[in-house]
């Protein structure tokens, strides 16, 4: 069976929220009447995430779910994304977080933009009308600084280059190459598509609820270096040092 869209969900100990995420995805996919697959890429969960994923695969056959497992010691967020994209069969790929907070109702609109020629559709938590209520204040502050740095170094204003929830033309992005192992893989995809002359569309939208403490895997101190290096690499590409 051929799929137009592959939905990739990276997981690590997400048994508490994965069911709600997949239930919402099932409603969204059913409303589109288009063939889609869901790929759960797990980093060695120990809380029953894999058992839950298997149950959900049986419960929602419309989603054509597959589960991939990677060794936890080698499974940063970016590594999971790369594996999921490599195994995806769809023309388009949607990256979805497992915490049941992404505005999944935007997926049909994202796919429509891709069908119309966009190579990447970003969901922005900072555009007018976007829901920023559920974002920590320090998180919003660092994003504001990063946005200014991007505008200064690359000459483009990107409202939200790092939000994981996004959709892209899979073959276009794969041709550019994805190398990041951590969460900076999201900004890597953003910058490479822009540098390659791809069309990037933006949609306002944000988390639909507060982040559960046990689901928070983002550690700003651990990720800052990766984001800075990714931006620096994009700048060097502009100076003639090829990144891809």
When pLDDT is averaged across residues 129-151 and rounded to a whole number, the result is 80
Could you list the beta-strand ranges (E) of 76-174. 92-95, 120-124, 166-169
Q: pLDDT per residue over 57-91, tens digit each?
A: 999 999 999 999 987 666 789 999 999 999 999 99
Q: Residue 240 phi/psi, 5° resolution?
A: 105, 5
Cα angle: 198, vertex 230, 203; to 5 degrees: 45
Residues in Cβ contact with 242 at an 8 Å cutoff, skipping those fewer than 6 apart? none
| Confidence bin at 104 (pLDDT 50/70/90) | very high
pTM: 0.93
User: 5, 34 in Cβ contact below 8 A?
Assistant: yes
pLDDT the model gives residue 226: 92
pLDDT at 221: 63
pLDDT for the residue 139: 77
Q: Above 60 in pLDDT, residue 132?
A: no
Which band of pLDDT confidence, cut at 50, 70 and 90, is reported for residue 33? confident
């Amino acid at each position: 069976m051929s799929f137009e869209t592959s939905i990739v969900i990276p997981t690590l100990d997400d048994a508490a929220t994965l069911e709600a995420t997949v239930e919402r995805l099932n409603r969204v996919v059913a409303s589109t009447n288009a063939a889609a697959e869901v790929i759960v890429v797990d980093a060695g969960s120990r809380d029953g995430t894999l058992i839950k994923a298997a149950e959900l695969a049986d419960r929602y056959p419309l989603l054509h779910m597959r589960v991939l497992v990677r060794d936890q010691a080698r499974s940063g967020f970016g590594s999971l994304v790369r594996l999921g994209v490599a195994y995806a069969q769809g023309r388009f790929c949607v990256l979805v977080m497992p915490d049941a907070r992404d505005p999944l109702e935007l997926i049909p609109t994202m796919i429509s933009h891709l069908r119309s020629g966009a190579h990447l559709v970003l969901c922005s938590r900072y555009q007018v009308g976007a829901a920023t209520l559920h974002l920590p204040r320090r998180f919003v502050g660092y994003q504001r600084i990063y946005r200014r740095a991007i505008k200064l170094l690359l000459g483009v204003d990107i409202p939200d280059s790092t939000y994981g929830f996004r959709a892209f033309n899979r073959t276009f992005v794969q041709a550019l190459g994805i190398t990041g192992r951590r969460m900076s893989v999201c900004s890597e995809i953003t910058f490479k598509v822009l540098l390659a002359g791809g069309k990037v569309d933006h949609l306002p939208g944000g988390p639909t609820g507060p982040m559960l403490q046990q689901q928070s895997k983002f550690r700003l101190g651990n990720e800052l270096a990766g984001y800075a290096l990714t931006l620096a690499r994009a700048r060097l590409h502009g100076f003639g040092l090829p990144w891809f």
